[in-house]
Structure 1
Amino acid sequence: MTVRPPSLWLDGLDTPISTARPLARDINTDVAIVGAGYTGLWTAYYLKRARPDMRVAIVEKEFAGFGASGRNGGWASALLPTSLATLAKEHGRHSALAFDSAMRASVDELIAAAGDIAADAHIAKGGTVVVARTAVQWGRAQAQARDAIEWGLGDRVSLLDQTAARTRLNAAGTLGATYTPDCAAIQPARLVRALAAAVTDMGVDLYEGTPAKTIGPHRVVTPGGEVTAAHVIRATEGYTAGMPGFKRDVAPVYSLMIATAPLSDAQWRDIGLAQRETFSDYRHLIVYGQRTADGRMVFGGRGAPYHFGSATKPAFDTHEKVFAKLKASLVEMFPMLAEARITHRWGGALGIARDWHASVGLDAGTGIGWAGGYVGDGVTTTNLAGRTLRDLILGEDTALTRLPWVGHRSPRWEVEPLRWLGANAGLAGMSVADAEERLTRRPSLAARALAPLVGGH
């Protein structure tokens, strides 16, 4: 069955997407993976590279890349949802810096792996520029640069003055910016579909159109059959709450995006992003964007509501008011795009743990492993997760298995309606915080008060 692409990225594939071969019998395998997004596919890829004889099967409710892997902002970044300060407090400075280093190295590992599987993913490692467009935002940019120096990472985060910032990204009102080279712009759907093709060529059994009804020790139950395995890996990210027994483990929060028609060379000369840098700014309610290989502006952000009971539905992928706000924010940053035609609008669920701490692990007793809670920064993190799960499954003690996210257990989210009230209060509060700063020209008191709800430290 051919499916309708839910994003610009999936719409830009060379061949139509079709689902095929659902699981229709009981099978036994060495490793069963639930979810054919980046996490599940990278895990399968690195396992088969290390142990070609290992039997690996993946069950996927829709098709490979249906979720965030085929809909995200196209940032292969070194960002983590948990601050270095928090990691250091819990695990020590050395472990925190090791995690940071592993993430930066993972950007290059992902690029190399994409080359190995011949993925035409339109990758450009242009780094990330985050602009400051008010005096308060400029203060935050300066603080981030000072913080990087204190951590010994001054060579990875540069503070740009107004001229240098505008050279990279000529956003209206820019006063300065920070820049890091540790990010690549990619076409994420091209990468995930190429990865799915690569693992099937390596002998992985991929069953699409096969939802997992339950996950338990050494078994996955689907409508078409039961999978028994030594190890079962949950790689469901934003859809985790839909699995029995995992309702409060990860909250799905929607992020929405828009894309313009290809812009002219003159428009790009005005805007910048000559190296296809990814970009954001220092407001509280997150926005993000990139310049695509075919010259489109892709722009996204948070702001869509969390849905009661951690519900995820196709209808939630669109929200007219949020799309309108995204277009208004885009034009406010780049007035020259006021007449730009929007060709694609889409959204999807990302996964957030209660403490905003991504994690990966494997329970030796049950054989159940997991990775997730990426808070929208999963393109690179999934690659690190896949290699880490490989080592854990093979029983190897490596630098990856000693990173501070391994075995981390986040608190569960509150029961409803507290979860709904808290999540939406946090999202709404960030808009209030930005408005407060525009009025007072001082750091927001609302943002400080709401920090525990939205990952602040």
Structure 2
Amino acid sequence: MIIGGGLTGLWTAYELQKRDPALSIVVLEKEIAGFGASGRNGGWCSALFPASTAALEKRHGREAALAMRRAMVDTVDEVGRAAAEAGIDCDYVRGGTIVYARDEVQWRAAQREVDSAQSYGVDALELWQADRVRARDARGAVYTLACARLHPAKLVRGLARVVEERGASIHESTTVLRWQPGVVETDRGRVRARHIVVALEGYSATVAQTRRRVLPLYSLMIATQPLDAQIWSELGIEHGQTFSDGRNLTIYGQRTADDRIAFGGRGARYHWGSTISPDYDRVDRVFRHLEATLHDLFAALPDLEIEHRWGGPLGVPRDWHASVTYDPQSGIGSAGGYVGDGLSTTNLAGRTLADLITGHETDLTRLPWVGHRSPSWEPEPLRFIGANAGLLAMTAADAEQRITRRPSLVARAMAPLTGH
């Protein structure tokens, strides 16, 4: 029994079917498969993990941190391989990520990032000089090949189709109320199962049992009209490439298969009581800010029609550390806490959960995120105050760096709270 029809649940179903085609697998989904962040994210299938390598090393030791990094890098290719194997056309192109350094503070941080990656010896980062990039005021960029551009809705809907064709049952429009070992209660009745996988990610906050396990943080996106080849040449972004810059308040973009810019970022506030509502998916102030940020990033952009606007919640654990858990006694497992890095991490979670459920001890089941349990978020009003203060702090940190031309003291103070 899998609770949640997003990528975590569907990859778990897919991998369980590979290990034992005779298994009876049921997926319960409140809306439709892929309704949440799995179907409406930025399309980065990256090797990013919410906790930095240094943070993983401090918590778990160097070898465990390196194993996690290798697994994440390998997963970028695994998603493309698995999608091709399943016949899912999701516009997967492994073109890498360009992170622009747009001032001296960001440039020095970029150099430190490359040096740090070289010291660990897993991630092959390149430091690009200014003459190789096209972003406004860029001193240079960090480039990594360990990222693919894809269309998330095509991936998750395609995966849902494949697991159904292979015998799984997906029950959409089914609300899970609670669960205990062997039993899941829904608004349509009670279901019994030996194994239960909880894969709700940001929507964990809507269920009493997991309400404080993650904080639902909204991220919003826009997509432009298709751009012609000349403009793309001036931007210096090729098919399959994703892009960002070194600011503290996260932004992310990609060149889509039909030559649009899909561009998103944080900035929408956290809502009292971890409330999730369709009304929060669209915030005009944030959409205007994203459009202005895009034009500030690329001087070569003409006036553009913004043809699509959307958003949704992602799941943030208290320590910014994603996890996979499974208790063989109770038969209950879970995975999540991806902080927006889930397009690849969900696949790794699905493979890991499949190994744990079928009782196979593998390199995946020994990774340091297996068995990790993040602390619960504070009750309200502390959660509301802390989450929105953090958002304001990252905005202030970027302003501080522009004014002082030095690394932000605010960002340094916030780093331990954001997995770095």
Smaller-chain TM-score bracket: over 0.9
The partner residue of 1:410 within 366, 369, 374 is 374
The 3-state SS of whatever aligns with 1:226 is strand
1:14-163 mapped onto 2 (5 Å cutoff): 32-153=1-122, 156-163=124-131
Work out whether 1:317 is the aligned partner of 2:281: yes
Q: Deviations over 1:109-158 (max 9, x none)?
A: 110110011111111100111010000000110010010111123x6111
* CA displacement at 1:230 relative to structure 2: 0.7
The 3-state SS of whatever aligns with 2:158 is helix
| In structure 1, distance between residues paired with 2:143 and 2:39 | 26
Query: Which residue identity is paired with 1:291?
Result: R
* CA displacement at 1:366 relative to structure 2: 1.8
Q: Deviations over 1:364-412 (max 9, x none)?
A: 2221100000000000000000000000000111100000000100010
Work out whether 1:298 is the aligned partner of 2:262: yes
The partner residue of 1:200 within 160, 164, 189 is 164
CA contact (8 A) 2:250 2:265 kept: yes
* CA displacement at 1:349 relative to structure 2: 0.4
| In structure 1, distance between residues paired with 2:400 and 2:186 | 50
* CA displacement at 1:90 relative to structure 2: 2.0
Query: Which residue identity is paired with 2:135?
Result: A
CA contact (8 A) 2:401 2:408 kept: yes
How many residues matched? 420
Give the TM-score, by structure 1 length. Answer: 0.91
Identity of counterpart residues, as a percentage? 54
| In structure 2, distance between residues paired with 1:275 and 1:64 | 28
Q: Deviations over 1:283-306 (max 9, x none)?
A: 000000000010000110001001
The 3-state SS of whatever aligns with 1:288 is strand
| In structure 1, distance between residues paired with 2:68 and 2:105 | 30
Work out whether 1:265 is the aligned partner of 2:233: no
Q: 1:398 to 1:371 in 2, by over 3 A?
A: same
Query: Which residue identity is paired with 2:203?
Result: Y
| In structure 1, distance between residues paired with 2:8 and 2:100 | 31
| In structure 2, distance between residues paired with 1:162 and 1:231 | 53
The 3-state SS of whatever aligns with 1:335 is coil
The 3-state SS of whatever aligns with 1:159 is strand
* CA displacement at 1:57 relative to structure 2: 0.3
| In structure 1, distance between residues paired with 2:302 and 2:32 | 36
| In structure 2, distance between residues paired with 1:128 and 1:336 | 20
* CA displacement at 1:276 relative to structure 2: 2.6
* CA displacement at 1:456 relative to structure 2: 4.5
Q: Deviations over 1:178-229 (max 9, x none)?
A: 1111000001100111100000000001100111011221211111121111
1:276-287 mapped onto 2 (5 Å cutoff): 276-287=240-251
Query: What's the C-alpha RMSD, in Å, of the aligned pairs?
Result: 1.0
Gaps of 5+ in 1: 1-31
| In structure 1, distance between residues paired with 2:2 and 2:96 | 32
* CA displacement at 1:338 relative to structure 2: 4.5
CA contact (8 A) 2:75 2:347 kept: yes
1:127-276 mapped onto 2 (5 Å cutoff): 127-153=96-122, 156-164=124-132, 166=133, 170-276=134-240
| In structure 2, distance between residues paired with 1:449 and 1:112 | 40
Q: Which shows bigger deviation, 269-278 or 229-238?
A: 269-278
Give the ranges of 4+ consecutive aligned residues of structure 1 lying more than 6 Å apart after TM superposition. none
| In structure 2, distance between residues paired with 1:332 and 1:78 | 27
Work out whether 1:328 is the aligned partner of 2:292: yes
| In structure 1, distance between residues paired with 2:55 and 2:160 | 35
The 3-state SS of whatever aligns with 1:206 is strand
The partner residue of 1:448 within 399, 412, 419 is 412
* CA displacement at 1:451 relative to structure 2: 2.4
Q: Deviations over 1:306-364 (max 9, x none)?
A: 11111100001011111111011001011333411000010010000000000001022
* CA displacement at 1:266 relative to structure 2: 1.3
The 3-state SS of whatever aligns with 1:47 is helix
Tell me the residue number matched to 1:23: none
Tell me the residue number matched to 2:332: 368
Gaps of 5+ in 2: none
